[in-house]
Amino acid sequence: MIYEDYNPMKKKMFQIMNEEGEIIQPQLMPDLGKEELLKMYRLMVQTRETDKKALLYQRQGRMLTYAPNLGQEAAQVGSALSLGKEDWMVPAFRELGAWLARGIEVNMVYLYWYGNEYGSKVPEGIKVLPVSVPIASQLQHAVGIAWASKLQEKDEVVMTYFGDGATSQGDFGEAMNWAGVYQTPTIFFCQNNQFAISVPRGSQTASETIAQKSIAYGMPGIQVDGNDIFAVYVATKEAVKRARNGGGPTLIEAFTYRLGAHTTSDDPTRYRSDQEVEAWKKKDPIDRMKKYLMREGLLTEEEDEKIAQEYINIAEDAFKYVEANGEIELEDIFKYQFKEMTPQLKEQLEEYKEFLRGRGEA
Give the model confidence (pLDDT) of 22-61 as tens digits. 999 999 999 999 999 999 999 999 999 999 999 999 999 9
Residue 71 sits in the same domain as residue 214:
yes
The pLDDT-based confidence of 233 (bands split at 50, 70, 90) is very high
* 141 annotated active-site: no
The chain-wide mean pLDDT, for the chain, equals 95
358 and 306 both lie in a single domain: no
Give residue 327's pLDDT.
Answer: 87
217 and 234 part of one domain? yes
The per-residue DSSP string of 263-321 comes to: STT--GGGTS-HHHHHHHHTT-HHHHHHHHHHHTTS--HHHHHHHHHHHHHHHHHHHHH
Share of the chain above pLDDT 70, in %: 100
Which of 116-120, 239-243, 286-290 bottoms out in mean pLDDT, i.e. has the lowest? 116-120
Q: Do 18 and 60 sit in the same domain of this protein?
A: yes
Do residues 147 and 282 both lie within one domain? yes
Domain match, 241 and 360 both: no
Q: Label residue 204 by pLDDT band (50, 70, 90).
A: confident
Mean pLDDT over residues 59-72, rounded? 96
Question: What is the spatial distance between Cα 319 and Cα 52, in angstroms, rounded to a whole number?
Answer: 13
Give yes or no: residues 302 and 356 share one domain: no
Grouping H, G, I as helix, E, B as strand and the rest as coil, residue 250 is strand
Tell whether 137 and 223 lie within a shared domain.
yes
**Are residues 156 and 253 both part of a single domain?**
yes
Looking at the fold, whether 357 and 270 belong to one and the same domain comes out as no
| Same domain assignment for residues 54 and 99 | yes
Q: Give the per-residue pLDDT at 362.
A: 62
Strands 186-192 and 250-255: parallel
Catalytic residue, candidates 48, 102, 242, 262:
262
Would you give the distance in Å from CA 117 to the centre of its chain?
19
pLDDT at 334: 87
Average pLDDT over residues 197-214: 93
Which of these is catalytic: 258, 288, 292, 311?
Answer: 258
Instruction: Tell me: do 338 and 321 sit in the same domain.
Output: no
pLDDT of residue 358: 83
Instruction: Supply the pLDDT for residue 357.
Output: 87
Given this model, what pLDDT does residue 360 score?
A: 78
3-state secondary structure of 159: strand
pTM of the entire structure? 0.93
Number of domains making up the chain = 2
Active site residue 258: yes
Q: What CATH number is attached to the domain comprising 15?
A: 3.40.50.970
Distances (CA, A) of 347 to 29, 340, 350: 59, 13, 5
* Residue 73 · residue 52 · CB < 8 Å: no
Burial 150-180 (b: 16+ CB within 10 A, else e): beeeeebbbbbbbbbbbbebebbbebbebbb
What pLDDT score was predicted for residue 5?
Answer: 95
Annotated active-site residue 114? The verdict is no
Q: Which pLDDT band holds residue 88 (cuts at 50, 70, 90)? A: very high
Parent domain of 362: 329-362
